[in-house]
């Protein structure tokens, strides 16, 4: 799945049956805020940097596999 697709799913305010979401569920952004603080906090920024590095590594690995290098 692409990142754009996942972000679109997270933004939906309806469940698969078009009913309201379970009130006990939280968004991924709210989860990150709870775990690492709001954007701009040192711990959150470190998480974001490490996540971007992980995504880049995964993309490179995928491209290498497609080209038969890995």
Q: What is the pLDDT of residues 23-41, one digit of tens each?
A: 778 889 999 999 999 999 9
- Residue 6 confidence (pLDDT): 64
- Residue 26 confidence (pLDDT): 86
Q: What's the Cα-to-Cα distance from 52 to each of 4, 45, 61, 64, 69, rounded to whole Å?
A: 15, 11, 14, 18, 23
Q: What is the pTM of this model?
A: 0.60
Q: pLDDT class for 45, splitting at 50, 70, 90?
A: very high
- Residue 24 confidence (pLDDT): 79
Mean pLDDT (whole number) for 3-27? 63
């Amino acid at each position: 799945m692409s990142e754009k697709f996942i972000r679109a799913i997270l933004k939906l305010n309806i469940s698969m049956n078009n009913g309201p979401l379970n009130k006990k569920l939280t968004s991924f952004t709210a989860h990150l805020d709870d775990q690492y603080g709001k954007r701009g906090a040192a711990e959150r920024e470190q998480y974001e940097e490490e996540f971007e590095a992980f995504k880049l590594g995964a993309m490179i690995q995928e491209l290498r596999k497609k080209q038969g290098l890995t």
